[in-house]
Structure 1
Amino acid sequence: MAGSSEATLVEENFPPARPAPALSYSARLLFKYGQPHRIIAGAIHYFRIHPEQWQDRIDRLVAMGINTLDTYVAWNFHQPYEDVAPDFTGWKDLAKFITLAGESGLDVIVRPGPYICAEWDNGGFPSWAVSDPEMVLRSSDPLFTGVVEKWFDQLLPIIEPLQACHGGPVVAVQIENEYGSYGDDKEYLRWNRKALLDRGITEILFTADGGTDYYLDGGSLPDTWATATLGSRGEEADAVWQRRRPGEPFFNVEFWNGWFDHWGEDHHTRGGVDAAAEAKKILDLDGSICLYMAHGGTNFGLTSGANHDGAIQPTVTSYDSDAPIAEDGRLTEKFYAMREAFFAASGRELTPIPVHLERPGAVIPACTFELTRGTALLDFVRAIKPVHSIKPMSFEKLGLDRGLVHYSAKAVLPVGEATIKICDLHDRAYVWVDGKYQGVLTDATCEEGVKVTTAGGLAAVEILVENQGRINYGPFFGQGKGILDGVLINQRYIFQWDQRPVNLEKPLSELLQVGTAEDSSDNLESPNSSGTKENPATDGSAATDGAGAGYFHGELRIEKAADTYLSLPGFGKGVVWVNGFLLGRFWEVGPQVTLYVPAPLLKAGANKITVLEFEHGGTHAELHEEPNLGLIGVTYVEDLG
């Protein structure tokens, strides 16, 4: 605690009526039930792992020498729709996940946010909860705290009985998340802290921020344990803590031993020896540590978030993060390096790893299977019931969180060349005029526009906008999706629009019924039908191979369910389902080539694979026996300046 040489949370932060927390500290030392203790933790997110694999991944965490499991709670995973109560069953059974960890001998740290970052869509917020333009996000604004209170009223009764004071495994709960990277509203942080206490959280509370004065200035509280997030230069951060937080033990609650990838950028890796050496520096300071991630898992469906650095940077489907326990559960070189460091720090001799954890898991033999063309993309989206407005409507106004919106209008075009511009586009738009594909615009190119040549007169303008993932970090967090302003022909606005929201998270059986009638409306071309020969890369141009955009269907026959790695050679950009489960996004720009398909999604016999292609289709899919997440690329080292 700032300005105090020592502190004991048991005495200072909790009135006598409250149970004493399992963890306390004094004179920079951490204690558990009064005995010296060090947290050696690993982050694993239940929402990124198929529930039939939860126990396996927890067992691997234990084998690495971990004593604590750390998990975020993603609000939008539990309550994607405002009018439906949060779901805590099945894959969303948070209590079961925490209980499994406890039964495996682990303590648990819960990080309920509500903001979690985590490269997860919208930083964990349902879009409906933060779409009010008058709301000041992540602040003490009653509009914001009011909606969060309703969520906490549902969530915290799940966590409260699992605390150590009741014999459960939960020993710590986080206040907000890396708030010093976003704001400085200490009233909001105190509100968040009080909201947890008022709902029965009695275990130790903490904040988490970057390892410098700057981040502590915005994100820490004087009466709450401050922890650090960083991946290197731990000694420097520890020195900051000694100066700013005397008496508090140093806890690197997010040690970034790997990093995530964006589409169209490098694949990130970090050597196991290097990462373990940095971790050891923190352990040698008698600090505690949590690997972020210990096991990354997968951004299934449309749950990947995005960053923004001049333009949107959508995160790939894999969240492998070059973690010690790979996306498919394999034990990596980094696993063994970290295990050696953790056992040594705990004063333990290395013990044999259970054979079944070291043995390579079963995979489906490599094979190829055919994909056949189904409903064309625009036959599909144009068959959806339209919503009319004068100006284009955003995803939020249409009540759509993720997916696509198809915009259509009639506009008078000048004779000769004109430029179609989109004002405030988020994120990626395919453009047609009178049924002819014109090109792609992105948030970076939308105001430059796409040039079209016409004979003049009234023309049909069609724009299909894709939400590539909501921003999860930085000042653009909470930004809307779709066309947020308008569409121009040169400098003139087009008014009177029809919008067709495409919710790709609906049951696949329902989606496949849309646009299948023989008399579907005007036969507009798919993006590849313009005849252009340009490469379909991040410049937004579209390829041509005659197959077009739309649905593709295939049947995979296997003898026994096992893990596999799916690729779609010849396809451009889109999403894929396995037996009706929305597996995730793919994009030929990489770096990710294969999508991890966990064994529980498959079955012996026939398995249905469905692809919705936005740009240009191929003819077949491939299964691989190894993942391909991209060429070994750069090591991410954060700038602590």
Structure 2
Amino acid sequence: MKVSVSQLISVVSGMLLMAGSLGAQAQAKHTFALGNTDFMLDGKPLQMISGEMHCARIPREYWRDRMKMAKAMGLNTIGTYVFWNANEPVKGQFDFTGNNDIAAFVKMAKEEGLWVVLRPSPYACAEWEFGGYPWWLLKDSTLKVRSTDPKFLSAYTNYINHLAKQLVPLQVTHGGNILLVQIENEYGSYSDDKNYLDLNRKIFRDAGFDGVLFTCDGETQMPKGYLPGYLPAVNGLEDPAKVKELINKYHNGKGPYYIAEWYPGWFDHWGDKHARTDAAQAAKTLDQILGAGVSINMYMFHGGTTRGFMNGANMGRNEPYAPQVSSYDYDAPLDEAGNATDKYYKFRDVIARHLPAGQKLPDVPAKKPTIAISNIKLSAYADVFDNLPKPVTAKKPICFEDLDQAYGFVLYRTQISNNGLLKLKELRDYAIVYLNGKQIATLDRRLKQDSLQLSNVPVNATLDILVENNGRINYGPYLADNRHGITQAVMLDGQEVFDWKMYRLPFADLGKFAYKMQPVTAMHPTLFKGTFNLSKLADTYLDMSGFGKGFVFLNGHNLGKYWQIGPQQTLYVPAGWLKKGMNEVVVFDELKVGHQMLQALNHAVLDRKM
């Protein structure tokens, strides 16, 4: 085969270009290590100025926008949890697509010039359902999460091995932008088994995570939660001198010094006030921390929204069950919709003072436009009691997990003929009680309500108990005790009630419900469907203040929960989930009927208790 001079020149030029490209790639690789006082990137000190964001809480369409906002505030790093229950919703079935595509999130951060601190633990806490553990672990009532239980470790190891395929190539040791990997999260708040902690380390190492590993704990929990020989980061401690003293104590007398969670805001529980922190004071604290050379991760920089049924709950030995709201606004520097707040600008001013000489911050992107939408007519109705699936029958009531159901609701039905005290033993978490189809009471685990007095009960009356999972506990001593529904028994006048039908209502999608044009008059849980047309798209906020308790689907997206008790009264709708032309909204309300209209505001309402 003969080759012309021009062809030869072309081939040689191509080879030179390829060699140059490969050389650039090789030069792009970095080294990252722990120095005595600093993180060392390519042999030079790096102060991480990081902010937490979670890909599952931000519509994928807006990941890049939020990262640009991070850069404009002065962040050089993103901290992020990875939620096991989002990536393995059913045992053995993995989902790393769409909003769960953690690899794409990390790669995008690299494109935007941001390092990443990865926190796959896999226990996350994070005000997220079951702390990130998948519900199906609870199907085996003997399995103990966060322990050396072989059944737990087997599932855990399998998950990390699958996660590793997504993320190991993105570590800084492989030319990526993941600097640190967290192997447990605030373990000292739960237990103190160093053997379990070392098994965590081994699982990550065996899966290929070969970079710097670390743990994080609160100040008083670190003795129980750190793993000797590995970097112990601290959460919630703001005094730089104390941060250095603490990390020195548990890291062989040296740093680096890293606050893995610094709280410039806080989260909300249903029925409480909206959390707020003073922006000026937080900025002053940030200035002191950065001035001392301590690396920091703001929890949260941007919280976003906990959509669907993925909110968690808190419960302590002396604290009642307290589920979190769907908004994860967190009073963070970026609000729920990704807009800069006063806190953002104050933090930006502080960070600018600590930049290397000659470095300037990018301009802050413009605020997102919003729209209000009035008179969304709700014109089709589906009474859930008229749309029940085939029941599961059993002598005793069955919990969600034994019904093979993750989230949502279960309707428990039986026949009774007696008066007396009706008691639901270990109700998880919220129940509406009906007698012959009439709503007679609500029972709320938050308020330690599990009983009501029945009188004038007809013979063979139908007793219905609609039970809602309000969010599995994500933190504290009751993490392993998280089965839901009616988890023990129903007692009436001291006698156990038997012969139950259980109707599973996971509301994973709404495709099987039949709608009518006639409004529902009975006080039954109901779906209200409406449509509306748009000529322009922008962020908006559904006003749920006139509704009772439930959730909303918009164009197939579950926007999250609402509850009349507040403080959250709106549901954030990102512009990217709206359509020009026809849009469909479905509101589920378990407490109120008669809704005919819905409206959307051009602002959030997150601080109104009813």
What amino acid is aligned across from residue 391 of structure 2 in structure 1? P
Partners in 2 of 1:253 and 1:94 — Cα distance? 20
What amino acid is aligned across from residue 61 of structure 1 in structure 2? A
Offset at 1:40?
Answer: 0.8
Partners in 2 of 1:290 and 1:455 — Cα distance? 58
The residue aligned with 1:90 is 98
Offset at 1:304?
Answer: 1.0
The residue aligned with 2:402 is 397
Partners in 1 of 2:258 and 2:361 — Cα distance? 28
- For the 8 Å contact 2:377–2:598, the answer to whether it is kept is yes
Partners in 2 of 1:34 and 1:448 — Cα distance? 61
The residue aligned with 2:327 is 318
Partners in 2 of 1:188 and 1:267 — Cα distance? 37
Partners in 2 of 1:443 and 1:483 — Cα distance? 12
Q: CA offsets per residue over residues 73-117 of structure 1, 9 Å max, x none?
A: 11111121125x211122221111100000111111111111001
- For the 8 Å contact 1:423–1:447, the answer to whether it is kept is no
Partners in 1 of 2:558 and 2:471 — Cα distance? 15
- For the 8 Å contact 1:293–1:321, the answer to whether it is kept is yes
Decide which moves more: 595-604 or 231-240.
231-240
Counterpart selection for 2:146 from 133, 138, 143: 138
The residue aligned with 1:638 is none
Closer, same or farther in 2 for the Cα pair 1:623/1:445, shift >3 Å? closer
Corresponding position: 1:32 with 2:41? yes
**Aligned 1:152-171 pairs, distance under 5 A:** 152-171=160-179
What amino acid is aligned across from residue 182 of structure 2 in structure 1? Q
Partners in 2 of 1:187 and 1:441 — Cα distance? 42
Q: CA offsets per residue over residues 173-223 of structure 1, 9 Å max, x none?
A: 0011110111111111101111111111111100010023xx112110111
Partners in 1 of 2:311 and 2:358 — Cα distance? 40
Offset at 1:338?
Answer: 1.3
In structure 1, runs of 5+ residues without a counterpart are 1-19, 519-523, 529-547, 633-641
Partners in 1 of 2:60 and 2:337 — Cα distance? 13
Q: CA offsets per residue over residues 501-551 of structure 1, 9 Å max, x none?
A: 11111x3223x24x8799xxxxx985x4xxxxxxxxxxxxxxxxxxx6401
Partners in 2 of 1:112 and 1:607 — Cα distance? 36
Offset at 1:28?
Answer: 2.3
- For the 8 Å contact 2:106–2:116, the answer to whether it is kept is yes
Offset at 1:351?
Answer: 3.6
Partners in 2 of 1:500 and 1:403 — Cα distance? 11
Counterpart selection for 2:52 from 43, 60, 76: 43
Closer, same or farther in 2 for the Cα pair 1:330/1:447, shift >3 Å? closer
Decide which moves more: 237-246 or 262-271.
237-246
Offset at 1:170?
Answer: 0.9
What amino acid is aligned across from residue 33 of structure 2 in structure 1? S
Corresponding position: 1:592 with 2:597? no
Offset at 1:459?
Answer: 2.1
Decide which moves more: 277-286 or 93-102.
277-286
What amino acid is aligned across from residue 152 of structure 2 in structure 1? F
Counterpart selection for 2:485 from 482, 485, 500: 482
Corresponding position: 1:301 with 2:308? yes
- For the 8 Å contact 1:568–1:620, the answer to whether it is kept is no
Counterpart selection for 1:619 from 593, 596, 607: 596
Corresponding position: 1:55 with 2:68? no
Offset at 1:496?
Answer: 1.1
Partners in 1 of 2:477 and 2:597 — Cα distance? 42
The residue aligned with 2:235 is 229
Partners in 1 of 2:308 and 2:113 — Cα distance? 32
Corresponding position: 1:629 with 2:606? yes
Closer, same or farther in 2 for the Cα pair 1:79/1:558, shift >3 Å? same
Partners in 2 of 1:574 and 1:348 — Cα distance? 53
For residue 611 of structure 1, give the secondary structure of its aligned residue in structure 2. Answer: strand
**Aligned 1:323-334 pairs, distance under 5 A:** 323-334=332-343
Corresponding position: 1:216 with 2:222? yes
Counterpart selection for 2:578 from 583, 587, 602: 602
In structure 2, runs of 5+ residues without a counterpart are 1-28
For residue 176 of structure 2, give the secondary structure of its aligned residue in structure 1. Answer: coil
For residue 36 of structure 1, give the secondary structure of its aligned residue in structure 2. Answer: strand
Partners in 2 of 1:477 and 1:496 — Cα distance? 31
What amino acid is aligned across from residue 243 of structure 1 in structure 2? K
**Aligned 1:435-450 pairs, distance under 5 A:** 435-443=437-445, 449-450=451-452
Offset at 1:449?
Answer: 1.1
Q: CA offsets per residue over residues 573-619 of structure 1, 9 Å max, x none?
A: 01101012111101111001111100111011111110011000333
Closer, same or farther in 2 for the Cα pair 1:167/1:386, shift >3 Å? same
The residue aligned with 2:501 is 498
Offset at 1:556?
Answer: 2.0
Offset at 1:289?
Answer: 0.2
What amino acid is aligned across from residue 495 of structure 1 in structure 2? F
- For the 8 Å contact 1:117–1:123, the answer to whether it is kept is yes
- For the 8 Å contact 2:425–2:450, the answer to whether it is kept is no
What is the aligned-residue RMSD (CA, Å)? 2.2
TM-score by length of 1: 0.86
- For the 8 Å contact 2:538–2:575, the answer to whether it is kept is yes
Partners in 2 of 1:192 and 1:219 — Cα distance? 12
TM-score by length of 2: 0.90
- For the 8 Å contact 1:343–1:349, the answer to whether it is kept is no
For residue 71 of structure 1, give the secondary structure of its aligned residue in structure 2. Answer: strand
Partners in 1 of 2:486 and 2:271 — Cα distance? 23
Partners in 2 of 1:384 and 1:610 — Cα distance? 19
Count of residues in Structure 1 that have an aligned counterpart in Structure 2 = 576
- For the 8 Å contact 1:569–1:622, the answer to whether it is kept is no
Corresponding position: 1:578 with 2:554? yes
